[in-house]
Amino acid sequence: MPTPRPPAEGRGEPIWLREATREPKTRPLTRERIVEAAMAVADDEGLDAVSIRRIAAELDARPMSLYGHIGGKDDLLDLMHDAAAEETLVGEVPADWREALRKLARCNRAAALRHPWLLVTRDTGCAIGPASLRRMDESAAAVRGLDVDGATRRALVLAVETFTYGHVSAELAGRIRRRATEEVDVARREAAARYVREQVDAGGLPHLADAGPSEPPSAQESERSFELGLDWLLAGAAASLGR
């Protein structure tokens, strides 16, 4: 008759109810993890904070180990830009060109607000990657039904993109103004507001008085401003194109 095994330490419960006591191995370093960490740093602190040494520290890795996955910071910025471009993809492009451009604009705005540094990387010559190519293809698909020449289609896409990223830039500036206003001491803030009211009430600025207070817009106001501007832009394009 076999001898029963003596109870091992920690075996009072079934294995399925016991946690492993050995520390799990460190997650393997991958290109995806490197890009994810770099994007998180850029989101919080801006592109200037992104460096090979900093990202290695975020991943608890040696800086040299990152070079097995990327060639340097330029490669990293290219990968970050394309990862952000992935978030702008709409998937299914509506058949109506107005709705298609509207959907593209909303996705572009949302991605740029999540990753403000996207406004920089899109203008600094980052290499065109797979997601960027798909985004360009979606833009072409959005206006494919318009009976106009290719240059006019491209101009329409550019007009919507220019409006979208310009609006995002204004929204981000508004965030900075709002934070700065909150950080200024109450006495200085009240003094500045009082000065503006006095100048308006003096009667020399009638148009400014009609426009109302100049305060950084709230998130809801920014959303409404974006949608209104997009409506006006698309309506103007439709009228100009006879559509």
At 2 the pLDDT is 52
Cβ atoms of residues 140 and 153 within 8 Å: yes
Residue 181 included in any domain = yes
Q: Residue 138 sits in a domain of what CATH number?
A: 1.10.357.10
Q: What is the pLDDT of residues 15-64, one digit of tens each?
A: 546 565 554 556 789 999 999 999 999 999 999 999 999 999 999 999 99
Does residue 237 carry a pLDDT above 80?
Answer: yes
pLDDT tens-digit readout, 8-17: 555 566 654 6
Pick 13 or 234 by higher pLDDT: 234
Highest mean pLDDT among 76-80, 176-180, 182-186, 206-210: 76-80
pLDDT digits (tens, 9 = 90+) for 121-151: 988 878 889 999 999 999 999 999 899 999 9
Residues 155 and 193 in one domain: yes
How much is the pTM?
0.78
Where do runs of H (alpha helix) occur along the chain? 31-45, 52-58, 63-66, 73-86, 97-114, 118-121, 130-142, 150-183, 186-201, 206-211, 219-241
Whether 129 is covered by a domain: the verdict is yes
Better-scored residue on pLDDT, 182 or 102: 102
Domain count, the chain: 2
Is a pLDDT exceeding 80 seen at residue 238? yes
- Nearest-angstrom CA–CA distance, 195 and 190: 9
Same domain membership, residue 117 and residue 155: yes
* Domain span including residue 25: 19-71
- Look at residue 93 and tell me whether its pLDDT is greater than 90: yes
> What does the alpha-carbon distance between residue 107 and residue 168 come to, in Å, rounded to a whole number?
12
- The reply to whether 167 and 114 lie within a common domain is yes
| 23's tokens | 């520390």
Q: Are 122 and 37 within one domain?
A: no
Residue 185 in this model has a pLDDT that exceeds 70: no
196 and 128 in a single domain? The answer is yes
What whole-number distance in Å separates Cα of residue 187 and Cα of residue 110? 36
CATH number at residue 64: 1.10.10.60
Mean pLDDT of the chain: 85
Q: Determine the angle formed by the axes of helices 150-183 and 219-241, rounding to 10 degrees.
A: 160
**Between 216 and 219, whose confidence is greater?**
219
* Contact yes or no for 155/101 (Cβ under 8 A): no
